[in-house]
Structure 1
Amino acid sequence: MRIHPTAIIEDGARLHESVIVGPYSIVESGAVIGEGCRIESCARIYGMTRMGAHNRVCHGVTLGSEPQDLGFRPELARPLTIGDHNQFKENVNISCGIKSDDGTRIGSHNYWMAFSHAGHDCIVGDHNILANTATLAGHVEVEHRTFLSGQVAVHQFCRIGAYAMVAGVSGVPQDVPPYTLVDGHRARIIGLNLVGLRRAGFTQEQRSRIKSVYRLIFTSGLRLAEALVEAERTYPSPETGHIVHFIESSRRGVLSFGRDL
């Protein structure tokens, strides 16, 4: 274990012997840091943080900090659980949980650019990218392989579906369906995330089917419940099932289309 002499490791913190801690960083009592993690300068790992293996924590990052919630009391704190192979760039801030027993949960292989933020009780999956200052309010859920561009702000309790992309300086007030591209001050769907789908290996047939499903759901004139049933009947596939389940389970509703697909 390589601990810089200016770093503070409180009694009760548990660090794997391979962990590196840089100058002026603080790891509080109760924190758990897994194998191969690198904590660079001036970072603070709060006591409710449980971190897996091979994560990089850059300068000024705060993980497991007190939620920005006026009703917070220390006895209400719940864990921040982090998976493996994440990168937290400069001044990223992620809050611990407060409302749910599982707290805030971050998966693996996510890339958090400078000043990005996740509020309390967020759930973030795997292989997501949050660009500079992208912000998740409390209770936001992000599936996997999404891209949130710079200065995106996601309203509390919203969900971001897998393989979706949110354009820069967008405000997201409702759920973003899987595979879509959204944009706008009050974000709307402007098409499919075709570049992301191609890079992820989706075939032309799959992309065309996803497009047909969304056309049916949003432009057929059918009631939503009827359109979802018809989509699964007409275009059966894992992607269709994902879209239908995502929309059926939405609590805030999904974004509308800003133009024709």
Structure 2
Amino acid sequence: MSEIADRDAPLMSALQPLDRAGQVTQALASFISRAELKAGDRLPAERQLMDALGVGRSTIREVVGRFQALGVMETRKGSGTYLLKPVSVDTVHMPLSFESGNLKENLLQSLEVRRGLELEVSVLAARRRTAEDLVTIEAALDEMERVHQLEGTSGPQDRVFHLAIYDAAHNPLFRQLLEQMRGVFTQFFENPVDRKDFAKRSYPFHRTLFNAIAAQDTEAARRETLKILDVVEEDIKDMAP
């Protein structure tokens, strides 16, 4: 580890305050390549990365989480983060994006893709979920409902709930696809139409979706997911052109 730490300074430098997560992703991929780290090597400690790149802990953890979702890193409790596969700047995929500047059109197009993914994910989650998965999903749901009752909206918590269901499907490819669509999917959880009640009618269906997954009722899970996405589609279509 000391050997890697000694090489941190010349290979990485502090970043400008722009797109920090994107910059850290590129910088970390570049460091791994230039330091010639191989599968099984341990990455510099979180604090070292924070100091070398001039960013906060949350940014480092977000970027490591992205790499974990792509299946190239693994964090071992009490030990550190390890490389599972070779990484370079060339292997960091560019995220999917739209050329159109029409928000309504963008949301409807990305919803079509989201519908296809989440219907399948909900079925697999109902079929494969573990007791630990249920604890994670319900905790996210409880927090989502708590924030919603206090503030009338809960975008970030809603996102955490859906991500927990993706994980319960136990197919890493779904999370990898989601990472590539992070930008377009995040729009759904950031009040895209500047309406506090956006998709509000879908909240009761999140609890019934959880119940279906807990009961391992695949058809009910698919049905409740479709109800959520149908509400989102209706609210998008109600947007001004």
Scaled by the length of structure 1, the TM-score of the pair is 0.27
More relative contact order in 1 or in 2 (CA 8 Å, sep 6+)?
2
- Structure with higher strand content: 1
- Structure with higher helix content: 2
